[in-house]
């Protein structure tokens, strides 16, 4: 069985905690795209963990984690993440972590390029997380990147390295006027952070395909959400990879397999990190209150997130892009304590009401249309059954279900593993 867990919105929906929860029913958890530019926060009985690269399944004993060919891996960052988890008593061995030989290595000069470009853009900046993600994906498509499998053929890699460094310096030195990248430094980087990973590197597609044939259950874990997908999101304010579920089997190394189920993670309100259009955005005191209640500060960067009410137009589009079969609605507890709750049900553009998500370029001119629903004033974080929820919370869930034409199966009411309700 092959299931994917994906984000319906702009990311930070709480995918990590849902993977952590649902991985109990799976044998394998695989990340299939992106790098260390976003972070999943998982809180369970073993502690509080921020995972940027490792699949969230790493926190469950008996689950095998796979980093797929669609990923870009900053090997220094990975070394740090593995060390932190090991300090917390989490076992990581080649038996429970497999890294694709086809995954691409994010190089220090990719991070440098990211910083140089953001500095050049100055006040026109994109809000990059400066983790080198766009430059390394660009290198991949230019066919100038290094892949994890090359570490297993180190003499060959060493022979290729000087040419790539010369090529990269055409940009770093000639275009940006920065200091030249040194071949020796890059070699030392591979030796220090790459070679210790050799035991984990393999053909993960072969591993997953065999496991699938043996009847093992595989969970694909996405980073970010539909609105950050390179092709379907709010380009150019997207990530540099495809996070949509349809890409999952490709990015995981099993293009031959079809998904059996897609679970979309959708937040009970909206949040968005960085620049770009965000139609239903709240400002001022309203925003402050929601941000503080939801703890909306980036897991990877600590940046305050932009926030707003639930957006039906964007979420319905996200559900369609993801082909989500069922939805987990997260962080409903954050909305407690309001007499009334706003929901953005349409956008207004040039005097017309839009109910379908438009071509992103026109979003700047769209104004949100809000409807108001009754709120609830009690704490719902201890609710574990549908019947324990106040009528207003149930009505809010039902309203979203109908407006987004989706089936909400799970509702989460707290960050802890068991703080959820299955409807
Ligand atoms: P991800 O990248 O999609 O995994 O999302 P993040 O980890 O960036 O953001 C989700 C944040 O919300 C984390 O800090 C979670 O611990 C927290 N969280 C997840 N679900 C809930 C919930 O139902 N209620 C509350 N209060 N917090 C939650």
pTM of the model as a whole: 0.93
Mean pLDDT of 35-45: 82
Instruction: Classify domain 104-197 by CATH number.
Output: 1.10.300.10
pLDDT tens profile 240-271: 999 999 999 999 999 999 999 999 999 999 99
Among 6, 17, 331, the mutation site with the greatest number of ligand 1 atoms within 8 A of its Cβ is: 17
DSSP H helix total and E strand total for the chain: 11, 20
Q: Is the peptide bond before 236 cis (omega within 30 degrees of 0)?
A: yes
pLDDT tens profile 180-201: 999 999 999 999 999 999 999 9
Distance 331 CA to ligand 1 centre (A): 7
Confidence of residue 46 (pLDDT cuts 50, 70, 90): confident
Catalytic residues, by residue number, are 12, 40
Identify whether the C-beta of residue 168 lies closer than 8 Å to the C-beta of residue 109.
yes
Ligand 1, atom 10, residue with closest C-alpha: 14
Q: How far apart are CA 225 and CA 13, in angstroms?
A: 8
pLDDT tens profile 66-116: 999 999 999 999 999 999 999 999 999 999 999 999 999 999 999 999 999
Pair of tokens at residue 338: 């309001």
Q: Which residue has the tokens 């993670």?
A: 265
What residue segments make up the domains of the chain, in order of their start? Answer: 2-101+201-264, 104-197, 266-422
Residue-level pLDDT at 316: 98
- pLDDT above 80 (res 216): yes
| CB atoms inside a 10 Å sphere around CB 141 | 9
Instruction: Classify domain 266-422 by CATH number.
Output: 3.90.170.10
| Residues shown for the chain | 423
Distance 12 CA to ligand 1 centre (A): 7
> Would the CB of 43 count as within 6 Å of ligand 1?
yes
Specify the CATH number for 2-101+201-264; select among 2.40.30.10, 3.40.50.2000, 3.40.50.800, 3.40.440.10.
Answer: 3.40.440.10
pLDDT tens profile 112-158: 999 999 899 888 777 778 899 999 999 999 999 999 999 999 999 99
Q: Can you spell out the DSSP letters for 293-317?
A: HHT-B-TTT-PBPEEESEEHHHHHH
Give percent of the chain with pLDDT exceeding 90: 87
- Work out the mean pLDDT of the chain and round it to a whole number: 95
């Amino acid at each position: 069985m092959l299931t994917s867990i994906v984000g319906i919105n702009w990311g930070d929906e709480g995918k990590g905690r849902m993977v952590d929860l649902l991985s109990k029913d799976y044998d394998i958890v695989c990340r299939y795209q992106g790098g260390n530019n976003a972070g999943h926060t998982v809180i369970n009985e073993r502690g509080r963990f921020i995972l940027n690269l490792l699949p969230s399944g790493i926190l469950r004993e008996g689950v095998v984690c796979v980093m797929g060919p669609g990923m870009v891996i900053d090997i220094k960052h990975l070394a740090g993440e593995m060390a932190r988890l090991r300090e917390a008593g989490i076992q990581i061995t080649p038996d429970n972590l497999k890294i694709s030989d086809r995954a691409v290595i994010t190089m220090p000069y990719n991070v440098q390029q990211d910083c140089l470009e953001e500095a050049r853009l100055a006040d026109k900046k994109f809000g990059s997380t400066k983790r080198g993600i766009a430059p390394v994906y660009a290198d991949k498509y230019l066919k100038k990147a290094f892949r994890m499998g090359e570490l297993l053929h180190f003499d060959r890699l060493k022979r290729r390295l000087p040419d790539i460094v010369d090529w990269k310096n055409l940009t770093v030195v000639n275009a940006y006027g920065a200091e030249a990248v040194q071949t020796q430094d890059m070699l030392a980087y591979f030796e220090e952070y790459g070679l210790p990973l050799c035991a984990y590197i393999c053909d993960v597609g072969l591993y997953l395909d065999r496991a699938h044939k043996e009847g093992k259950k595989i969970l694909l874990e996405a980073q970010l959400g539909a609105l950050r997908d390179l092709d379907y999101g709010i380009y150019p304010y997207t990530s540099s990879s495809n996070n949509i579920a349809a890409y999952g089997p490709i990015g995981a190394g099993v293009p031959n397999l079809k998904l059996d189920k897609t679970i979309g993670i959708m937040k009970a309100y909206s949040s968005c990190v960085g620049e770009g259009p965000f139609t239903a955005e709240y400002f001022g005191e309203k925003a402050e209150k929601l941000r503080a209640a939801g703890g909306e500060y980036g897991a990877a960067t600590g940046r305050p997130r932009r926030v707003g009410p639930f957006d039906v137009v964007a979420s319905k589009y996200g559900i369609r892009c993801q082909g989500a079969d069922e939805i987990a609605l997260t962080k409903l507890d954050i909305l407690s304590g309001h007499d009334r709750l706003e929901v953005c049900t349409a956008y207004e553009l040039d005097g017309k009401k839009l109910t379908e998500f438009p071509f992103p370029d026109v979003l700047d001119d769209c104004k949100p249309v809000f409807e108001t629903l009754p709120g609830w004033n009690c704490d719902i974080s201890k609710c574990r059954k549908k019947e324990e929820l106040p009528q207003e919370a149930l009505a809010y869930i039902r309203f979203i279900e109908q407006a987004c034409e989706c089936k909400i199966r799970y509702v989460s009411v707290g960050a802890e593993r068991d703080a959820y309700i299955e409807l």
